Amino acid sequence: MLLKKMLKKLISIYILLILSLLQSSAVASSSDFDMWVKKFKVLAVKSGVSVKVVDEVMNNAVFLPNVIKYDRFQPEFYEDTYTYIKKRTNKNKVKKGLSLYNKEKLTIDKIEKEFLIEKELLLALMGIETNFGKYLGKMDIVSSLSTLSYDKRRSEFFTKELIILLKLVDQKIIDKKILFGSWAGAFGNFQFMPRTIRNYAIDYNKNTIIELKKTEDSFASAANYLNTIGWKKNTPCFIKINLNNNIPNKYLNSSALNIKNKKKVKYFKKYIKNYNSLKIDKNLEAAIITPDIDIIPGAYTYAPAYLVFANYEKVLNWNRSLRFALAVCTLKNNFKNAI
């Protein structure tokens, strides 16, 4: 009995100890975050943001544990390319995009002409980024950027993004009251990070403020971005090919970071089974991608395979993912057949 009592006592002491430790670490981490906010405010003012805006915006910043969770445990990507593309470019998506286009036809057509960017591409990007404005994200992006700047993993990158965001608020380019977006700080119909807003976003309807959740400003900003980075209207993005297995490995790209070994299409003739039926200018420069090789265990090495062109790399510029760019250009083609 005595032993049992002692054991009980020991357990309760142990639990108390654990609880107090947990509590003190929670207190420590929140005061650490407050310390970080203080230091960050000094840095922001030094970088040229007004004291007033730094205070107004940063006084509401809180540490969001979920943001760290999303950052650490981004679900590993096991979908093969076909599944990924099929899910994101289906008939429903086209239907939804068409209904938006029919409502906003005048604005979207005008933007297409002015920036030389196909409306189908703009619709495809918006459809894949936010399902036409349905998933804009509900996170307070000042707090998500603050959490990621406070966190060690990519602190430098997110600190810069946060300072850019404060400057945009300070210059009254964007409204601090509507800063809700993704857990990683992306914002609006096309999910722009602060740096993208600064570099490419425009106040298309000239009401002195950039509204990236509204059609006029968001479509014009996306079109301006694509035009500035060099998207060429009416030139191809990618074409599917069937490879012979005599293709040297060095020509197979499976990383979106750096597309290597570009040649004229005709150079690849001996490696492509369906070469003669490719409806494409054979003098165009292209590279070969095989996106499933590194990700899907046991994937058949040479399928699926695609020839990708300069435009494809512009979409990678927007988002470094081979599958994302394939899905965007596929959805673009689906719109082309439907509009």
Using an 8 Å Cβ cutoff, are 297 and 56 in contact? no
Nearer to Ca ion, 221 or 330 (CB): 221
Of 212, 272, 32, nearest to 280 by C-alpha is 272
Using an 8 Å Cβ cutoff, are 185 and 148 in contact? yes
Instruction: Provide the 3-class DSSP secondary structure of residue 73.
Output: coil
Minimum gap (Å) between residue 207 Cβ and Ca ion: 4
- C-alpha triplet 132, 137, 143: angle, nearest 5°: 150
Nearer to Ca ion, 170 or 217 (CB): 217
Minimum gap (Å) between residue 171 Cβ and Ca ion: 14
Residues 6+ apart with CB under 8 A from 259: 253, 287, 289, 308, 313, 316
Minimum gap (Å) between residue 205 Cβ and Ca ion: 5
Nearer to Ca ion, 71 or 104 (CB): 104
Nearer to Ca ion, 207 or 235 (CB): 207
The residue whose Cβ lies closest to Ca ion is: 203
Alpha helices in the chain (DSSP H): 2-46, 51-58, 65-72, 81-88, 91-103, 105-115, 119-130, 141-150, 155-170, 194-200, 215-229, 310-318, 322-338
Nearer to Ca ion, 118 or 211 (CB): 211
The tokens describing 234, both together, are 């009416």
Q: Using omega within 30 degrees of 0 as the cis cutoff, is the peptide bond preceding 75 cis?
A: no
The tokens describing 69, both together, are 């969770």
The tokens describing 30, both together, are 């929140």
Minimum gap (Å) between residue 221 Cβ and Ca ion: 10
Minimum gap (Å) between residue 45 Cβ and Ca ion: 28
Nearer to Ca ion, 68 or 173 (CB): 173
First to last CA, the chain: 83
Nearer to Ca ion, 120 or 211 (CB): 211
Q: Rounded to an integer, what distance in angstroms lies between the CA atom of residue 216 and that of residue 188?
A: 12
Minimum gap (Å) between residue 202 Cβ and Ca ion: 8
Minimum gap (Å) between residue 44 Cβ and Ca ion: 25
Minimum gap (Å) between residue 107 Cβ and Ca ion: 12
Minimum gap (Å) between residue 215 Cβ and Ca ion: 11
Nearer to Ca ion, 96 or 198 (CB): 198
Using an 8 Å Cβ cutoff, are 93 and 127 in contact? yes
- For Ca ion, the binding residues (CB under 5 A) are 203, 205, 207, 211, 217
Nearer to Ca ion, 137 or 188 (CB): 188
Count other C-beta atoms under 10 Å from residue 198's C-beta. Answer: 17
Q: Rounded to an integer, what distance in angstroms lies between the CA atom of residue 228 and that of residue 211?
A: 20
